[in-house]
Amino acid sequence: MNDFDILTDSNLKNSFSVPSKVKELITVNKISCLTELYNSGEINKNTKIAGHGYNSIPKSEDESTFIKIAASDIEIVKSEGKYVCVKVGAGCGWDNFVKWSVENNYHGLENMSFIPGSVGAAPIHNIGAYGYEVSTFIVELSLFDLENGKFVTYKNIDCDFKYRTSIFKLAPNLLICDITFKIYKDSKYVLLAIEDKEISKYEETKELINLLLNSFTFNFSLKPLLKFKFDSVRDILKLSIIPTKLKRKLVKKIRTKVLPNPEVIGNSGCFFKCPILTNEQFINFKSLYPQVEYFESEEGYKISACWLIRGAGWAGRTKNGVHIDANKPVLLLNYDSATSENVLLVSNEIIENVMDKFKIKLETEAVFY
């Protein structure tokens, strides 16, 4: 295998299935060759970074050079009493790493099973699912700075992780080469890591626990489970008494039911973030819209992006080949050969309409190159 490969006039694979051609795509198999690539002028501060394309919409034609890390080794670098530290190459598929950790009886990542994409992209918007965020498990990252050609290490605290964001959103020059994660030898330590919270705040929770415990063979129908509030499902998936391997299976079933498969229809998962309001903003907003759908988080009140988009009249509409899902309007789907320019247009129109109607700024989770 070459240390790196260069393709010219290459397609940039993306899960929204928009057509795209970029001037040059450099795939890096060996991290040490980055210095050589920088010194020879092949890469510089204008080079754009590509991952596996599940959260990014490339232009139809882009005259830029793109770089993509393919190195994907998984290596245990430290083993202490309660945990192991594992260094993973940025090119590793995120779910390949989660699968590896579950199969090797490590705990912590299982709720984030089946999130598509690369390990290297995971910290960018601090991926998360069912109450867990990747930032909880990150120790440090090795980065290559495309601005000065130097390697640098960032500790977790340097990354300014928040809900679906991090310092990397503002630093497109930082190429993530590998990440060291801390994962646990027993699931009970995971809860300690994410702060044990009161879990039975919802009436349904106990009922759901019974349902799960009685169904350990996993032959039950998921219909009753899906009737429960999302928050309850999230709380259940935090319970350490539920075996990690079972959680992974549960997550697979739930995700298959609620998320469209990009292999079947182009999409980028949830296209918009849920806007967060402060306590004061929320009180005002709720007095205007008592029926608002929201949930509380450590960072404030998260207003349902689905609720806002539906309220702005977009649920179920199709424009310029982009369809807005009727049930979960935070999902944008490539119905009819949409281009990235179409997606940008529709996305901007939704943001504008939500602003006009609710005076709230919706932001995209997906990245436009």
Ligand X SMILES: Cc1cc2nc3c(=O)[nH]c(=O)nc-3n(C[C@H](O)[C@H](O)[C@H](O)COP(=O)(O)OP(=O)(O)OC[C@H]3O[C@@H](n4cnc5c(N)ncnc54)[C@H](O)[C@@H]3O)c2cc1C
Q: CB-wise, 28 or 209, nearer to ligand X?
A: 28
Per CB under 6 A, the segment of 48-56, 287-295, 301-309, 318-326 that binds ligand X is 48-56
Give, rounded to a whole angstrom, the gap between the first and last alpha carbons of the chain: 29
Using CB positions, name the residue nearest to ligand X. 117
**Which residues are designated catalytic?**
164, 270, 365
Residue 4 phi, psi dihedral angles, 5° rounding? -150, 160
* One-letter identity of residue 58: P
Tell me if 127 sits within 8 A of 133, measured CB to CB.
yes
Contact map string, positions 270 to 309, toward ligand X, x by CB under 6 A: ----------------------------------------
Least Å distance between CB 145 and ligand X? 11
Residue from 52, 59, 107, 247 touching ligand X (CB under 6 A): that is 52
Which three-class secondary structure state does DSSP give residue 293? coil
User: Using the rule CB under 6 A, is 56 a contact of ligand X?
Assistant: yes
Binding residues among 350-369 for ligand X as defined by CB under 6 A: 367
CA angle 18, 19, 22 (to 5 degrees): 120
Q: Does 116 bind ligand X (CB under 6 A)?
A: yes
Which residue stretch of 111-119, 145-153, 242-250, 351-359 sits at the interface with ligand X (rule: CB under 6 A)?
111-119
Q: Which is nearer to ligand X, 98 or 212 (CB)?
A: 98
What is the bridge-based pairing of β-strands 21-28 and 322-324? unpaired
CB of 169 to ligand X, least distance (A): 8
Q: Is 55 in the site for ligand X (CB under 6 A)?
A: yes
Q: How far is the CB of 5 from ligand X (least distance, A)?
A: 16
Q: How far is the CB of 83 from ligand X (least distance, A)?
A: 23
State yes or no: residue 69 binds ligand X (CB under 6 A). yes
26 - beta bridge partners? Answer: 6, 67
- Residue with Cβ nearer ligand X (54 or 285): 54
267 lies in the binding site for ligand X (CB under 6 A): yes
Q: Which of 4, 20, 22, 51 binds ligand X (CB under 6 A)?
A: 51
* Sole binder of ligand X in the list 58, 89, 108, 128 (CB under 6 A): 128
| Nearest by Cα to 176 from 282, 71, 298, 61 | 71
Q: Is 15 in the site for ligand X (CB under 6 A)?
A: yes
> Which amino acid, 113?
S
Task: Give which of 97, 47, 45, 40 is closest to 73, Cα–Cα.
Answer: 97
61-69 vs 21-28, strand pairing mode: parallel
- Bridging pattern class, strands 138-145 and 174-184: antiparallel
Among 86, 98, 127, 242, binds ligand X (CB under 6 A): 127
- Window contacting ligand X (CB under 6 A); options: 110-118, 147-155, 226-234, 322-330: 110-118
Burial class (CB in 10 A: 0-12, 13-18, 19+), 303: buried
What is the Cα–Cα distance from 282 to 288, expressed in whole angstroms?
A: 10
Closest CB 287 distance from ligand X, rounded Å:
32
* Closest CB to ligand X among residues 209, 332: 332
CA distance 316 to 326: 4
Residues in the interface with ligand X (CB under 6 A) total 31
**Coil, helix or strand at residue 212:** helix
Q: CA torsion sign, 16 to 22 to 28 to 34?
A: negative
Phi, psi of 362 (to 5 degrees): -85, 140
Site residues (CB under 6 A) for ligand X?
15, 49-56, 69, 90, 115-118, 120-122, 124-125, 127-129, 175-176, 259, 262, 267-269, 367
